[in-house]
């Protein structure tokens, strides 16, 4: 049995509102009352009292079903403006009993959990579609339940107050197109420059297996664009177009660099940012928050 | 057996269709007692087709037309438009139509709103048919199960978990149900007269006449009425329930007379209130304790202070009555009560000439002494009597008989002495058939006694059967007495008492009882305290039961142990965030509180992920150490 303090806390934290079935319940009570009233049938009166009482008592069990939940922001993937991103929340049942029929929602997205075991934690993933770069606020996650009886819906909001960083939408001309290179990691025949000795720690995708078969020496393929790797330099000021399109272009290039392990330097607001120092996320954050 | 029960309790949530089928089967049950054979056959056929694996349109047509034919067959004889105004016919017809609709929808194997609603409708209709204790228990049971099924549809749980929650729900609902039942305003409408009754029976034993012959007195154990005295039970020699006042029609037959003398109750003392539940007998007699002072609704007080119902009693009826245990009853016309042909009873008349008493009281006492001197024996299997002169035959030849013989002879003898007399027939309650203020009167308690008119004293009751010097049926009575002392008799009596209480305080609860309770609460402080105490006692027991069955604790001993530690740490100001892993949190605690946690973390991981049983003991032991350190 819960203490009075817990009881009040349950009552405060969970909201209850009627559903369509509530009106059906009301109709049932009125029907029973009419039958009992007309004929003074105590059996019908008793059934009516049970219906009223059980419906009322079930509210407490429904509220108790939501009370031990704890929801916390867990993680997020990189989110870009106008693109679907994903963030996840950790749902924890802090009680010693199982919880039932939980419907977690964020905006219009729903995740149903029919049973959450005692002390169990699960992660739910929600999609996020931001319409601008910068910060996107995730205010709350809602949970609702029709357990145990569906004449009323019990709901609870979990404040997250989490600000997610939304990067500019990656779009524009591909880095490879702008430099006249192919973006295939293994390169094309036309890009081949020379065979060089394979060094420890280098990517195996560069190994020239044919030379290994012939000479038993581990050689790597060297492509023409790779020699330009160290000189990749992106200057925001020198890019043409609107601010947002420039940011989008830079975002695209930075992501391409990341996927090909290219280091780069970004010039932004008269400052230079080295990818090796700031990290890709750090540089992307600068783009996300530019002039905001 | 236990294994099967254990397996049953572990059953997981079945499909919605299965839950609905269960609900339908449960709520259809009372209707099976009402449905005609045609409808029951139709139902069996429908069940066969519904549970056949494949669905065929032909079957649906067959079920539709078969249903229409079954309803037609069931109501063919009683069908006419006027019958629809009869509630019983109307309701049973509606339930048959509902059955047809449910069968057709269920056969389609599609759950729609109406099919979901049908169990509730079946239950609502069944309330029209029965109003008995069995129906009361069935209704509560069915409601419990239906609620359980409804909850199960929303609860991904085993049967055991469902039963636990449902029981909790019911136990915690009970206080409100009790309060509502007592306090919800009732109206004083008469109870509906329609409905089938499962416990209906009629007793034809009492017919308001008395035949004085040599036939045996054979009365059964059937209960004629149940009485509940509001304050205390009267003495054993006051438990006379008068049914008819009889006058001699011939030497053999005594019966009621339309032109009997009219009695007036001019003095009434020791008034006693009681409720009487009269079971159906198919006649109008209403047996009231001597001497009735109130006339209940729809009944009349006869000239001889007996009560008659306006209608024949075909179902159990409850009356609130009052009796005066001490009274003076007088009549203004006694002519017929003295009528007697002295020559018809020569021996008796000759003996009575020796009585020289002057006053009616002295004559009555002398008559009792005379009967005692005759050494008459009591038996329910008397010798044959002379049909022409049963009085002389009983008193001087047979010398044995039962109350009828004693009473009729005593009344005739009184008239021979010039004392007005009459025989009263009814019931003399057996004092052993009581539980506290509750008394059961059975057919075998039927009795006849005599009333003599003693001048100023008016009509006075006499018990001539008590003059018997011995009981020839003593062996049988010993057996009977032994039986009454037996466990079965006591259990049966208590069972009837409980039944009576349920009947009168639950099924028969009405406005008058509400008023009775309110008046008692307002006027009697002790009653108020007992009432409040009883209510809170019941609430306490219900909550205690709820507490005992609320055993929903986690079965994971590791998490139970860790949760206890978390609670302690929370008190120390270290809170575990929900996104934090246990290891991360414990390391944080280690930094914060300077308590080593490494061993606990290792033990926790071994118990949680390597599933090592011994690791749990290590966790417990580590927690114990940490607790000691923290406190």
pLDDT at A19: 95
Please compute the mean of the pLDDT values over residues A192-213 and round it to a whole number.
67
pLDDT reading at A202 higher than 70: no
Question: Beta partners for B292?
Answer: B323
Intra-chain end-to-end CA distance of chain A, in Å: 53
Residue B72, number of CB atoms within 10 A of its CB: 11
Q: What residues contact B616, with CB distance under 8 A and at least 6 apart?
A: B557, B558, B561, B607
Q: Chain B interface, mutation test: which of A7, A26, A40, A121, most B Cβ atoms within 10 Å?
A: A40
- B256 — pLDDT class (breaks 50, 70, 90): confident
CB-based contact B507 A42, cutoff 8 Å:
yes
> Which of residues A87 and B56 earns the better pLDDT score?
A87
Q: Which residue is closest to B508 within chain A, CA to CA?
A: A42
Print the SS3 string covering chain A: CCCHHHHHHHHHHCEEEECHHHHHHHHHHHHHHHHHHHHCCHHHHHHHHHHHHHHHHHHHHHHHHHCCEEEEEEEECCEECCCEEEEEEEEEECCCCCEEEEEEEECCEEEEEEEECCCCEEEEEEEEECCCCEEEEEEEEEEEECCCCCCEEEEEEEEEEEEEEEECCCCCCCHHHHHCCCCCCCCCHHHEEEEEECCCCCCHHHEEHHHHHHHCCCEEEEEHHHHHHHHCEEECCCCCCCHHHHHHHHHHHHHHHHHCCCCCEEEECCEEEEHHHHHHHHHHHHHHCCCC
pLDDT at B366: 92
B270-322, pLDDT tens digit by residue? 999 999 988 887 788 889 999 999 888 888 988 889 999 888 887 778 888 99
Which chain B residues are within 8 Å of A147, Cβ to Cβ? 151, 154-155
Question: How many A/B residue pairs have CB atoms within 8 Å?
Answer: 144
Which chain B residues are within 8 Å of A40, Cβ to Cβ? 186-187, 189-192, 510
Q: What residues contact B573, with CB distance under 8 A and at least 6 apart?
A: none
> Which of residues A208 and B530 earns the better pLDDT score?
B530
- DSSP H helices, B76-112, are 87-107
Residue with tokens 């003059």: B467
Q: Chain A interface, mutation test: which of B87, B88, B154, most A Cβ atoms within 10 Å?
A: B154
A55-85, pLDDT tens digit by residue? 999 999 999 999 999 999 988 888 999 999 8
CB-based contact A53 B180, cutoff 8 Å:
yes
CB-based contact B559 A118, cutoff 8 Å:
yes
Which chain A residues are within 8 Å of B174, Cβ to Cβ? 53
CB-based contact A118 B556, cutoff 8 Å:
yes
- Nearest 10 degrees: Cα torsion B81, B87, B93, B97: 110
Q: Is B56 exposed, middle or buried (0-12, 13-18, 19+ CB in 10 A)?
A: exposed
B266 secondary structure, DSSP code: E
Give the gap in angstroms from C-alpha B4 to the nearest C-alpha of chain A: 25
> Is residue B423 within 8 Å of B408, Cβ to Cβ?
yes
Q: Which residue is closest to A51 within chain B, CA to CA?
A: B143
**Pairing between β-strand A79-80 and β-strand A152-167 as defined by DSSP bridges:** parallel
- DSSP H helices, B108-158, are 113-126, 133-152
Q: Chain B interface, mutation test: which of A1, A7, A42, most B Cβ atoms within 10 Å?
A: A42
A151-186, pLDDT tens digit by residue? 999 999 999 888 999 999 999 888 887 776 655 444
For residues B464 and B365, give the distance between their C-alpha atoms in angstroms, rounded to a whole number: 11
Q: Which residue is closest to B136 within chain A, CA to CA?
A: A43
Lowest mean per-residue pLDDT among A94-103, A112-121, B110-119, B334-343: B334-343
Lowest mean per-residue pLDDT among A15-19, B184-188, B469-473, B528-532: B184-188
Give the gap in angstroms from C-alpha B324 to the nearest C-alpha of chain A: 32
Q: What residues contact B162, with CB distance under 8 A and at least 6 apart?
A: B13, B148, B151, B152, B155
- B132 — pLDDT class (breaks 50, 70, 90): confident
Please write down the long-range contacts of A36-39, taking CB distance under 8 Å and 24 or more positions apart: A37/B187, A37/B189, A38/B189, A38/B192, A39/B189, A39/B191, A39/B192
Give the gap in angstroms from C-alpha B552 to the nearest C-alpha of chain A: 5
Q: Which residue is closest to A92 within chain B, CA to CA?
A: B578
Question: Beta partners for B422?
Answer: B451
Q: What residues contact B351, with CB distance under 8 A and at least 6 apart?
A: B370
Give the gap in angstroms from C-alpha B321 to the nearest C-alpha of chain A: 22
CB-based contact B154 A146, cutoff 8 Å:
yes
> Is residue B295 within 8 Å of B267, Cβ to Cβ?
no
Q: Which residue is closest to A68 within chain B, CA to CA?
A: B578
CB-based contact B172 A45, cutoff 8 Å:
no
Percent of chain A with pLDDT over 70: 83
- B187 — pLDDT class (breaks 50, 70, 90): low
pLDDT at A151: 94
B404-417, pLDDT tens digit by residue? 899 999 999 999 99
CB-based contact B177 A98, cutoff 8 Å:
no
CB-based contact A49 B180, cutoff 8 Å:
yes
Write the CA distances from B504 to B138, B186, B307, integer angstroms.
Answer: 18, 15, 22
Largest CA-CA distance found in chain A, in angstroms, rounded: 105
CB-based contact A74 B579, cutoff 8 Å:
yes
Which of A28, A56, A150 is facing B176, going by the closest CB pair?
A: A56
B468-509, pLDDT tens digit by residue? 888 877 777 777 777 666 778 788 888 888 888 888 788 878
pLDDT reading at B102 higher than 90: yes
Which chain A residues are within 8 Å of B139, Cβ to Cβ? 43, 46-47
Please compute the mean of the pLDDT values over residues B127-134 and round it to a whole number.
85
Q: What residues contact B270, with CB distance under 8 A and at least 6 apart?
A: B324, B325, B326
pLDDT at B213: 73
CB-based contact B120 A28, cutoff 8 Å:
yes
For residues B512 and B186, give the distance between their C-alpha atoms in angstroms, rounded to a whole number: 9
Closest CA to B306 of B320, B327, B292, B322: B292
Q: Which residue is closest to A65 within chain B, CA to CA?
A: B155
Give the gap in angstroms from C-alpha B518 to the nearest C-alpha of chain A: 19
Closest CA to B118 of B103, B102, B106: B102
The structure's pTM equals: 0.70
B567-591, pLDDT tens digit by residue? 888 888 888 876 677 888 898 888 8
> Which of residues B259 and B15 earns the better pLDDT score?
B15
Intra-chain end-to-end CA distance of chain B, in Å: 49
Q: Is B307 exposed, middle or buried (0-12, 13-18, 19+ CB in 10 A)?
A: buried
Which chain A residues are within 8 Å of B119, Cβ to Cβ? none
Lowest mean per-residue pLDDT among A206-215, B23-32, B531-540: A206-215
Q: Which residues of A38-54 are buried (b: 16+ CB within 10 A; e: fewer)?
A: ebbbbbbbbbbbbbbbb
pLDDT at B204: 46
Please compute the mean of the pLDDT values over residues A28-33 and round it to a whole number.
92
For residues B235 and B255, give the distance between their C-alpha atoms in angstroms, rounded to a whole number: 29
Q: Which residue is closest to B127 within chain A, CA to CA?
A: A44
Give the gap in angstroms from C-alpha B484 to the nearest C-alpha of chain A: 34
- A190 — pLDDT class (breaks 50, 70, 90): very low
pLDDT at B122: 94
Q: Which residue is closest to A30 within chain B, CA to CA?
A: B124
Q: Dihedrals φ, ψ of B32, to 5°?
A: -65, -25
pLDDT at B202: 41
Q: Which residue is closest to A75 within chain B, CA to CA?
A: B579
CB-based contact B579 A90, cutoff 8 Å:
yes
CB-based contact A1 B127, cutoff 8 Å:
no
CB-based contact B154 A149, cutoff 8 Å:
yes
pLDDT at B314: 79
Please compute the mean of the pLDDT values over residues B24-40 and round it to a whole number.
92
pLDDT at B84: 59
Which chain B residues are within 8 Å of A32, Cβ to Cβ? 124
pLDDT at A247: 93
- B540 — pLDDT class (breaks 50, 70, 90): very high
pLDDT at B552: 53
Which of A54, A70, A119 is facing B173, going by the closest CB pair?
A: A54
Q: Chain A interface, mutation test: which of B116, B139, B156, most A Cβ atoms within 10 Å?
A: B156
CB-based contact A43 B127, cutoff 8 Å:
yes
- DSSP H helices, B354-473, are 360-373, 390-392, 403-416
Look at chain A and count its residues.
292
Q: Which residue is closest to B162 within chain A, CA to CA?
A: A148
CB-based contact B578 A97, cutoff 8 Å:
no
pLDDT at B158: 92
Give the gap in angstroms from C-alpha A100 to the nearest C-alpha of chain B: 6
pLDDT at B193: 46
Please compute the mean of the pLDDT values over residues A273-277 and round it to a whole number.
89
Report which secondary-structure segment, H or E, holds B399.
none
> Is residue A116 within 8 Å of A98, Cβ to Cβ?
yes
- B522 — pLDDT class (breaks 50, 70, 90): very high
Q: Which residue is closest to B566 within chain A, CA to CA?
A: A94
ipTM of the complex in this document? 0.76
Write the CA distances from B229 to B119, B178, B232, B233, B440, integer angstroms.
Answer: 42, 24, 6, 6, 11
Please compute the mean of the pLDDT values over residues A44-58 and round it to a whole number.
95
Which of A43, A61, A71 is facing B139, going by the closest CB pair?
A: A43
Question: Mean pLDDT, chain B, as a whole number?
Answer: 85
Q: Chain B interface, mutation test: which of A57, A68, A104, A162, most B Cβ atoms within 10 Å?
A: A57
B441-455, pLDDT tens digit by residue? 888 888 999 999 998
Which chain A residues are within 8 Å of B187, Cβ to Cβ? 37, 40
> Is residue B315 within 8 Å of B280, Cβ to Cβ?
yes
Which of A58, A72, A90 is facing B169, going by the closest CB pair?
A: A58
For residues A59 and A154, give the distance between their C-alpha atoms in angstroms, rounded to a whole number: 8
For residues B402 and B467, give the distance between their C-alpha atoms in angstroms, rounded to a whole number: 11
Q: Which residue is closest to B133 within chain A, CA to CA?
A: A43
pLDDT at A186: 46
pLDDT at A61: 92
For residues B92 and B110, give the distance between their C-alpha atoms in angstroms, rounded to a whole number: 26
Give the gap in angstroms from C-alpha A18 to the nearest C-alpha of chain B: 17
């Amino acid at each position: 049995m819960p203490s009075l303090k817990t009881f009040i806390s349950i009552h405060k934290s969970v909201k209850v509102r009627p559903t369509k079935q509530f009106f059906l319940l009301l109709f049932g009570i009125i029907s029973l009352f009419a039958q009992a009233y007309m004929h003074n049938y105590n059996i019908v009166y008793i059934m009516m009292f049970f219906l009223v009482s059980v419906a009322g008592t079930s509210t407490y069990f429904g509220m108790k079903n939501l009370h031990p939940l704890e929801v916390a922001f867990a993680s997020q993937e990189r989110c870009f403006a106008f693109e679907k991103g994903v963030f996840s929340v950790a749902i924890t049942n802090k009680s010693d009993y199982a919880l039932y029929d939980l419907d977690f929602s964020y905006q219009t997205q729903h995740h149903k959990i029919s049973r959450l075991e005692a002390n169990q934690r699960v992660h739910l993933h929600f999609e996020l579609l931001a319409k601008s770069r910068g910060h996107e606020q995730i205010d709350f996650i809602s949970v609702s339940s029709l357990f145990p009886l569906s004449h009323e819906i019990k709901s609870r909001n979990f404040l997250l107050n989490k600000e997610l960083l939304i990067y500019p939408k990656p779009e524009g001309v591909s880095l490879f197109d702008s430099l006249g290179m192919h973006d295939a990691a293994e390169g094309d025949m036309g890009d081949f420059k020379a065979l060089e000795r394979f060094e420890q720690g280098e990517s195996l995708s560069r190994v020239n297996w044919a030379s290994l078969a012939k000479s038993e020496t581990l050689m790597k393929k060297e492509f023409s664009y790779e020699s330009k790797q160290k000189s990749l330099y992106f200057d925001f000021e020198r890019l043409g177009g609107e601010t947002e399109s420039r940011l989008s272009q830079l975002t695209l290039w930075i992501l391409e660099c990341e996927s090909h392990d290219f280091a780069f330097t970004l010039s932004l607001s008269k400052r230079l940012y080295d990818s090796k120092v700031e990290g890709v996320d750090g540089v992307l954050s600068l783009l996300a928050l530019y002039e905001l | 057996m236990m294994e099967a029960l254990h397996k049953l309790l572990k059953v997981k949530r079945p499909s919605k269709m299965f839950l609905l089928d269960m609900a339908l089967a449960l709520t259809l049950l009372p209707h099976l007692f009402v449905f005609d054979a045609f409808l029951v056959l139709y139902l069996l056929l429908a069940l066969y087709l519904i549970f056949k694996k494949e669905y065929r349109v032909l079957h649906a047509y067959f079920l539709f037309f078969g249903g229409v034919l079954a309803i037609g067959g069931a109501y063919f004889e009683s069908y006419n438009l006027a019958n629809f105004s009869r509630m019983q016919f109307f309701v049973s017809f509606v339930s048959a139509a509902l059955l047809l609709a449910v069968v057709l929808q269920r056969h389609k194997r599609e759950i729609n709103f109406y099919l979901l609603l049908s169990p509730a409708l079946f239950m609502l209709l069944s309330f029209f048919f029965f109003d008995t204790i069995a129906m009361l228990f069935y209704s509560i049971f069915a409601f419990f199960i239906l609620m359980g099924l409804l909850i199960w549809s929303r609860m991904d749980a085993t049967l055991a978990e469902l039963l636990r929650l449902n029981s909790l729900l019911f136990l915690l609902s009970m206080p409100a149900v009790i309060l509502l039942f007592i306090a919800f305003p009732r109206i004083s409408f008469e109870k509906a007269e329609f409905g089938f009754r499962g416990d209906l029976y009629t007793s034809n034993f009492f017919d308001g006449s008395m035949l004085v012959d040599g036939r045996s007195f054979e009365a059964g154990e059937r209960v004629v009425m149940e009485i509940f005295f509001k304050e205390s039970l009267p003495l054993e020699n006051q438990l006379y329930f008068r049914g008819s006042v009889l006058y001699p029609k011939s030497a053999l037959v005594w019966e009621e007379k339309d032109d009997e003398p009219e009695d007036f109750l001019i003095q009434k003392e020791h008034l006693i209130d009681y409720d009487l539940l009269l079971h159906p007998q198919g006649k109008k007699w209403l047996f009231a304790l001597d001497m009735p002072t109130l006339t209940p609704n729809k009944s009349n007080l006869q000239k001889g202070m007996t009560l008659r119902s306006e209608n024949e009693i075909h179902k159990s009826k409850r009356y609130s009555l009052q009796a005066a245990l001490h009274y003076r009853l007088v009549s203004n016309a006694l002519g017929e009560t003295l009528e007697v042909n002295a020559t018809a009873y020569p021996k008796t008349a000759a003996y009575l000439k020796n009585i020289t008493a002057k006053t009616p009281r002295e004559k009555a006492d002398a008559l009792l002494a005379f009967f005692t001197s005759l050494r008459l024996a009591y038996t329910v299997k008397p010798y044959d009597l002379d049909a022409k002169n049963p009085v002389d035959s009983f008193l001087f030849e047979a010398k044995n008989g039962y109350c009828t013989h004693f009473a009729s002879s005593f009344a005739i003898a009184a008239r021979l002495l010039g004392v007005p007399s009459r025989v009263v027939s009814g019931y003399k309650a057996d004092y052993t058939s009581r539980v506290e203020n509750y008394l059961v009167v059975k057919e075998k308690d039927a009795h006849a006694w005599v009333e003599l008119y003693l001048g100023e004293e008016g009509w006075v009751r006499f018990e001539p059967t008590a003059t018997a010097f011995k009981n020839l049926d003593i062996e049988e009575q010993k057996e009977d007495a032994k039986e009454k002392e037996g466990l079965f008799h006591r259990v049966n009596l208590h069972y009837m008492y409980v039944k009576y209480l349920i009947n009168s305080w639950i099924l028969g609860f009405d406005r008058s009882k509400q008023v009775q309770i309110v008046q008692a609460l307002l006027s009697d402080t002790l009653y108020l305290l007992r009432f409040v105490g009883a209510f809170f006692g019941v609430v306490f027991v219900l909550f205690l039961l709820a507490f005992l069955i609320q055993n929903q604790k986690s079965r994971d001993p590791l998490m139970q142990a860790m949760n206890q530690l978390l609670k302690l740490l929370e008190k120390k100001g270290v809170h575990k965030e929900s996104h934090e892993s246990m290891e991360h949190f414990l390391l944080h605690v280690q930094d914060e509180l300077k308590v080593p946690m490494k061993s606990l973390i290792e033990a926790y991981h071994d118990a949680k992920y390597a599933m090592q049983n011994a690791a749990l003991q290590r966790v417990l032991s580590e927690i114990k150490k940490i607790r000691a350190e923290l406190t």
